[in-house]
Amino acid sequence: MKAWLKNNTVLAVAALLAAASVCLTPPSAAYLGYVDWHVLALLFCLMAVVVGLRRSGGLDHLSRYLLSKVKSTRALVLVLMLLSFFSAQLLTNDVALLTFVPLAVAMIDGKKQPGLLIDVIVLQTMAANLGSMITPVGNPQNLFLFSYYGMGIGDFLRLTLPIGLLCLGFLLAIIFIHPWPQLQLQSQQDAPATPLDRHSLIAYLALFALCLLAVVKLIPWQLMLAAVLLSLLIFDRRVLKEVDYALLLTFLCFFIFVGNVAAWPAAHHFIATILQGRVLLVSALLSQLISNVPAAVMLASFTQESTALLLGVNIGGLGTLVASLASLISYRLYCGEAQAQPGRYLKVFTAYNFSGLALLLAASRFIFAF
């Protein structure tokens, strides 16, 4: 039980809140209306398809080819950062880190250069969290808010591209200003590339395209769900075991909690009053405590300031280790190494992240006049 709670803390909190909220609004058929089934279906399909893409070996082969061309420490850090930043826009920040952090660990000698390895993983984590804010499918909170507020893809990108370019500039500035040491590469024999399955890669790319069509509402989400489910059940059932069902259950619990609270007039008025004129700051700060995905789900029902909320929960992914659950993935991958220095990692992570958080909050208030 302790192990489960440690690995599923957010789900446990969400379930507790959902159970407590039943005291406010007794169970009824109205509960079904709280749940955004469209978002849950999109999340499930995207997670399943991305698992299949990782298993096909295409991402691994592409990244190793690019890394084989680097000749300096700065070039290596730049490639690893850019891979995380741009891949997160389509594959989600979680998958970007699960794919590229192990590559950094395999290439950089953590025993001889522990500081370099920590800096690189922290930058990869920030790059994945910041890059994922640019597209609706980059992370779960974007997908939810894109659907909840009925945004168009053009309006979404006009908001996220400027701040995304600023984020990229911030990361590039760190890389080019930082005095990187001479690189000492590890042998990669201990981390062989995933075998490339071209047929599987093509099939999952086709399913991924289908998911994107559903995201921009060119096809019904029910059609996407049926196509993905049937394809997986017939050709690759193993993928279904690797879907993050805890995330889906977390969303479900928060939908119930938020629906019950919103149905209670006094609570709705109180929260809406607190948010008025402070959505950007409140959502970013709340993300530091409960992470940005549940923060987005909790606050969306109480404000129509979609722009401020979208930026707040995405920028709020920087800061504490729990602000974005993807950050915990990097931390766990790093701590799994024999030469890991968790205390040193947290110091570097905190310094980089809170610097970025302060800069981007200030920039957002200036650019968008919040």
- Give the closest residue to 129 by CA, choosing from 158, 169, 100, 167: 167
Identify whether 61 is part of a domain.
Answer: yes
CA gap 328, 305 in Å, rounded: 29
Question: What distance, in Å, lies between the first and last C-alpha atoms of the chain?
Answer: 44
For the entire predicted model, the pTM comes to 0.81
Identify whether 28 is part of a domain.
Answer: no
Identify whether 26 is part of a domain.
Answer: no
The model's pLDDT over 42-62, given as tens digits with 9 standing for 90+, comes to 889 988 998 898 888 887 787
CA gap 159, 141 in Å, rounded: 15
Q: 194 versus 156: which is more confidently predicted?
A: 156
Identify whether 3 is part of a domain.
Answer: no
185: β partners: 108
Q: What per-residue confidence (pLDDT) applies to 233?
A: 94
Positive or negative, the CA dihedral 99, 100, 106, 109 is negative
CA gap 362, 351 in Å, rounded: 17
Torsion of CA 153, 154, 155, 159, to 10 degrees: 100
Highest mean pLDDT among 246-255, 256-265, 313-322, 334-343: 313-322
The model's pLDDT over 294-318, given as tens digits with 9 standing for 90+, comes to 889 889 988 999 999 999 999 999 9
Identify whether 29 is part of a domain.
Answer: no
Q: Provide the pLDDT confidence category of residue 132 given band limits of 50, 70 and 90.
A: very high
The model's pLDDT over 87-131, given as tens digits with 9 standing for 90+, comes to 999 888 988 898 888 888 877 877 788 889 999 999 999 999 999
Domain range for residue 74? 8-20+34-368
The model's pLDDT over 312-354, given as tens digits with 9 standing for 90+, comes to 999 999 999 889 978 988 888 888 787 889 899 999 999 999 9
Q: Give the count of domains, the chain.
A: 1
Identify whether 1 is part of a domain.
Answer: no
The model's pLDDT over 189-232, given as tens digits with 9 standing for 90+, comes to 445 667 888 899 999 999 999 998 988 888 999 999 999 999 99
Q: Provide the pLDDT confidence category of residue 143 given band limits of 50, 70 and 90.
A: very high
Mean pLDDT for 148-174 is 93
Mean pLDDT for 139-148 is 93
CA gap 250, 293 in Å, rounded: 9
